[in-house]
Amino acid sequence: MRKAYLQIGLAAALLTAPTAFDAASAKDITIGVSFDKIEPFRVAEKKALTDAIEAAHAKMDFANADKDAQRQASQVDTMVSQGVSAIIAIPWDIEAANDLARSTIAAGIPFVSLDQALSDLKSVTYHIGGDPCADGKVAGEFFVKAAAGKPFKLLELQGGLANDNGIRRSRCLDDALKAAPNITIVAQVPTDWNPQKALDGTENALQAHPDLAGIYAPWNDALQGVFSVLKAKNLLLPVGDPKHITIVSIDGTPLGCKAVRDRLIDLEIATPLPEMSRRAVAAAIKASQGGKIEPQAEFLPGIPYGPDNVKAMASKIWGCQG
């Protein structure tokens, strides 16, 4: 049966080969898209990807692995056996996806990883994603600047403890803070990306440390929980107020942009979603037509912006449009 699916894969590769010379049109191209999960940010991501694929006149075959590495492997294998032109995947398990990518490529189908980087980038045709570590570092440096050498208590909310993006956003923040011994991380609260847990965590941290100076909320959905606690404590004050708590967030969703415009958070690091999607789709189509992809991996660092420059930056931030 392994032979059978190799054959089908080969056949699919052969079938798509002639179109390689017909680069002007991508009409017969179907891109298999495999998401790790569906949550608010992924909904936006899916929309960006759908737009990009439509713009390229290709078709999309979508599947959601729902936080299950096995299901993702099975879904990608199915797409391969159905003869899609290329795969774009947000891997759930960044280790398992290496082998999935290799076997897909071995079957003659390009494998593009999006957003979440695999542990071994050499195993994919092309990777395009944000740079969680860079984002974390930017956030860390911002806190160092904000603290300005004075004692500074920081609450760090964490997303999924077993999620690579989450881990890196956290670790690189910590690295950047090492330079400033005046900053203490008073608590690292695991939340599983759940705003309700972000709320409880913020409430508890404020209880332990009423003199909290900063909150790191590395995904926009957490902000709602943070704001509601601050509001209850009369601490939801605009940037610039002496009692304002410095908040840095990552994602760049419309809600994040609104928070910046309302001057509620100091810094937002926006993931360039449309650009990521466009590049992923372009690479997938090009690779499926036999083209060579250079460079093989790209990391688009988030675009930092704050209340003071949001007007100027708005055109570059997807969440600030529309």
Partner 1 sequence: MSGRWRPLTRVGAQVWSLVAVLALVSVGFASLSDRFADLDNLRNVLLQAAPTMIGAVGMTLVIAARGIDLSIGAIANLALALALLGAGTRSEAALATDTTWLVYPIAIASGLALGTLNAVATNVLRLSALITTLGTLTLYRGLGLHITAAGLIAVRGPILAFGRAQLWGIGVPVFAAVLMAVAGWVFLSETPTGRRLLAVGGSPRSAVETGLRTERLLVVAYAASGLCGAIAGLILVGRVGVVNPDLGYGMEFTVITAVVLGGTSLFGGRASMFGTVLASLLLTTIDNGMTLIGADPYAYDVVRGVILLIAVSADAASAHMRSRRSPVIPELRA
Partner 2 sequence: MADLPTAPPRVMRRGVSLAALLKLPMLPVLLVAFLALSVSIDGFVSAANLANMARLFAPLAIAAIGLTFVFLLGEIDLSIGSVLSLASVLGALTMRGTASVWLGVMVMVATGALIGALNGAVIAWFRFSAFVYTLGVLVTARAIAMLITGGHSVGRLPFGALRFGRGTFAGLPWLLWIAIAVYAAAHLFLRQTVIGREIALVGANRRAAVFAGLRVRRARFTGFLVSGTLAGLAASCIVLRLGSGGPILGDNILLMAIAAVVLGGTSVFGGEGGAFRTVTGALVVVTLDKGLNLLGLAFYDQAIVMGLVIVLGSALGGYLYRRRTGRA
Residues at the interface with partner 2 (CB under 8 A): 1-2, 4-5, 8, 38, 61-64, 66-71, 73-75, 77-78, 81-82, 93-96, 98-100, 103, 119-120, 160-164, 166-167
When asked if residue 208 is in the footprint of partner 1 (CB under 8 A), the reply is yes
Structure tokens at 6: 């190799």
Q: How far is the CB of 22 from partner 2 (least distance, A)?
A: 25
For the chain, the first-to-last Cα distance in angstroms comes to 50
Cα(313)–Cα(306) distance, rounded to whole angstroms?
9
Q: How far is the CB of 33 from partner 1 (least distance, A)?
A: 16
Closest CA to 36 of 72, 5, 12: 72
Answer for the pair 196, 225: CB distance below 8 angstroms, yes or no.
yes
When asked if residue 81 is in the footprint of partner 1 (CB under 8 A), the reply is no
Instruction: Name the binder of 17 from partner 2, partner 1, none, CB < 5-8 A by kind.
Output: none
Structure tokens at 23: 């680069």
Nearer to partner 1, 177 or 205 (CB): 205
When asked if residue 271 is in the footprint of partner 1 (CB under 8 A), the reply is no
Answer for the pair 117, 129: CB distance below 8 angstroms, yes or no.
yes
Cα(28)–Cα(316) distance, rounded to whole angstroms?
32
Stretch that binds partner 1, among 98-106, 143-151, 183-191, 305-313 (CB under 8 A): 183-191
Instruction: Name the binder of 193 from partner 1, partner 2, none, CB < 5-8 A by kind.
Output: partner 1
Q: 276 CB contacts (<8 Å, ≥6 apart)?
A: 48, 114, 115, 128, 129, 130, 300
Q: How far is the CB of 248 from partner 2 (least distance, A)?
A: 22
Q: How far is the CB of 190 from partner 1 (least distance, A)?
A: 4
Instruction: Name the binder of 194 from partner 2, partner 1, none, CB < 5-8 A by kind.
Output: partner 1
CA–CA–CA angle 128, 132, 136 (5° rounding): 155
- Helix or strand (DSSP H, E) at 215: strand 214-217
Stretch that binds partner 1, among 38-46, 105-113, 114-122, 303-311 (CB under 8 A): 38-46
Cα(68)–Cα(133) distance, rounded to whole angstroms?
24
Cα(168)–Cα(148) distance, rounded to whole angstroms?
25
When asked if residue 161 is in the footprint of partner 1 (CB under 8 A), the reply is yes
Question: Which residues of this protein are in contact with partner 1, per CB under 8 A?
Answer: 38-40, 42-43, 158, 161, 185-190, 192-196, 198-201, 203-205, 207-209, 221, 224-225, 227-228, 232, 254-255, 258
